[in-house]
Amino acid sequence: MLVELVKEVAGADTLKVLEILKNKKNVSEFKIAEKLGISVNQVRNIIYRMQEHNLVTFTRKKDSDKGWYIYYWTFDMPRAIMLIADMKNKSIGDAKENLLHVEDTRVYVCKNCRLKFPEMDALEMQFLCETCGEIMLEEDSAKRKKDLSKRLKKDEEDLKVANEILMSHREMIAKSAEKQMIKEKAEKDIKRKTARELAKKTAKTTKKVVSKPKKKIKKTVKKPPVKKKPIKTTKKTSKKSAKKTVKKRILRRVFNH
């Protein structure tokens, strides 16, 4: 189930990395590269695809000799199981929906390629398989029902297993995902509450808003240092000019004599 998921979302070549990360924590990317006989860049390329779906977490340490970072990867099992549960839930929903409409929909199938097409698509293709050219035949609705029920049953079993694993990982999940969810929820609640309070206090706040600019005006009034500064500078400049005049006087005296 896990292999299925990782393969589906991140590609088949991620499975060899999964095999190494499974049941381990903080595996160095150099170790992974060494075990697989590939370069560290190739390892990163594969792992980034897993990271896109949050299937892995990492820590990094700076290599004091070489000055670069070394990444240590951990497969995020609870996250993966949760993804599986999501996928199974969706698949179960689809299967149930399809089961409801088995009688009023038609599906055409190519016996050679085993490709299936809904009636509208098959009609457009003039009931000829687009891959091998074989005439497609309508699939027996009883067989479709049977297949869908089979898929539904398997998905429900998988979901049950996923939920059991999730339960057993409860502590880990509580530490990561649930904690975050609770945090986010709390943050949202606070936002909602403050929004509500704000909505209630609109009448009061309008009064406050009126009083606020007054304060601001007072503050701005309290800021005449702007006026003081130019005075200081003028004093300075006057001092400077005074010095200059003194210099001029001295120079005059020097040159006059």
Binding positions for Zn ion, rule: CB under 5 A? 110, 112-113, 129, 131-132, 134
Q: Which is nearer to Zn ion, 112 or 234 (CB)?
A: 112
Q: Which is nearer to Zn ion, 21 or 110 (CB)?
A: 110
Per-residue tokens: 122: 């098959």
- Taking alpha carbons only, the member of 142, 140, 86, 88 closest to residue 111 is 140
Smallest distance from Zn ion to CB 112, Å = 4
Q: Which is nearer to Zn ion, 130 or 157 (CB)?
A: 130
The H or E element containing residue 99 is: helix 77-100
Smallest distance from Zn ion to CB 178, Å = 48
- Taking alpha carbons only, the member of 155, 34, 45 closest to residue 99 is 155
DSSP for residue 140? P
Q: Which is nearer to Zn ion, 85 or 107 (CB)?
A: 107
Per-residue tokens: 54: 């949050």
Q: Which is nearer to Zn ion, 131 or 238 (CB)?
A: 131
d(CA 135, CA 117): 12
Smallest distance from Zn ion to CB 182, Å = 52
Smallest distance from Zn ion to CB 25, Å = 48
CB 1 within 8 A of CB 82: no
- What is the arrangement of strands in the sheet containing 116-118, beginning at the earlier edge strand? 116-118, 107-109, 137-138
Smallest distance from Zn ion to CB 133, Å = 7
Q: How many CB atoms lie within 10 A of CB 35?
A: 14
